[in-house]
Structure 1
């Protein structure tokens, strides 16, 4: 016979149902202004705006972050030393070097957003497992 649990208004929950509800509860309490910022950074870095010609193999379109940062930071270095990634180069696991500070900032914004969202996913997962393990009997714990 399997153990059953009560969580809030929910009764007779199987261990996997309880884990799901704890996960949903933890995620709901975790999301706040930081997550809106992360999602905004990812969206701002998505290449949704049309562009004129690009070289073969380049990511099609440009992002809002790129357009704004190139206008606000139109500074060039002498050499290509600033590491960046685009959506396409990320999938190919390639780092691109640029010398324009605006380009560097524009391409870095979505990376920061992705890192923030990855951290949120890690935090929610670990908090959910900890909370779940505190509620269940030894044989139903997740390690």
Structure 2
């Protein structure tokens, strides 16, 4: 038998016999997700190092802002020091909890990078999930019978 065949109305896929169309889709999704894990570990790392887990004493307005600081913020400040954007440029960066997120301008490069790192991780994670869903649908439609195929969807 080949790695993908149809047997008595069910499928055979990579050693799994009597696989229903739903199970086939699940197996392909797991396979595609496993192929993409290299990106998701980077995304999760960026999200985690951007979280304010490290307590900070004497932080102004701790009631409205995040209570601590992140590894990304500490490392970017150590690497970049007091480097500032030229020409008085003050780009905005997200600040606060997700429920009370606000955009705050800053002229320090390290602060700007430290605040954007977790959001770059969120974006990468969303893109990875979208790609996995798209590749799963494409591969499933190549293998499945025409009656079992998924029509065009948003993923």
TM range (shorter): 0.7 to 0.9
Equivalenced residues, count? 140
Residue 3 of structure 2 corresponds to which residue in structure 1? none
2:95–2:101 contact (8 Å) kept in structure 1? no
Q: Which protein is bigger by CA-based radius of gyration?
A: 2
SS of structure 1 residue aligned to 2:55 = coil
Instruction: Determine whether 1:128 maps to 2:151.
Output: no
- Equivalent residue number for residue 7 of structure 1: 13
Q: CA RMSD in A?
A: 2.2
Taking the aligned partners of 1:113 and 1:76, their CA distance within structure 2 comes to 24
Query: Gaps spanning 5+ residues in structure 2: where?
Result: 1-7
**Change in CA separation of 1:63 and 1:93 when aligned onto 2, cut-off 3 Å:** closer
More displaced stretch, 10-19 vs 92-101: 92-101
The structure with the largest strand share of the pair is 2
Higher helix proportion, which one?
A: 1
**How far has the Cα of 1:31 moved from its partner?**
2.0
Task: Tell me what 1:75 maps to.
Answer: 83
Q: Alpha-carbon deviation of 1:37?
A: 2.4
Aligned to 1:84: 93
TM-score, length of structure 1 as denominator length: 0.85
Aligned to 2:148: 140
User: Looking at both structures, which has the greater relative contact order when contacts are Cα pairs under 8 Å and sequence separation is at least 6?
Assistant: 1
CA distance in 1, matches of 2:100, 2:46: 21
5+ residue gaps, structure 1, are none
Q: What does residue 40 of structure 1 align with?
A: 45
Partner of 2:102, secondary structure, is: coil
Q: Which residue of structure 2 aligns with residue 106 of structure 1?
A: 114
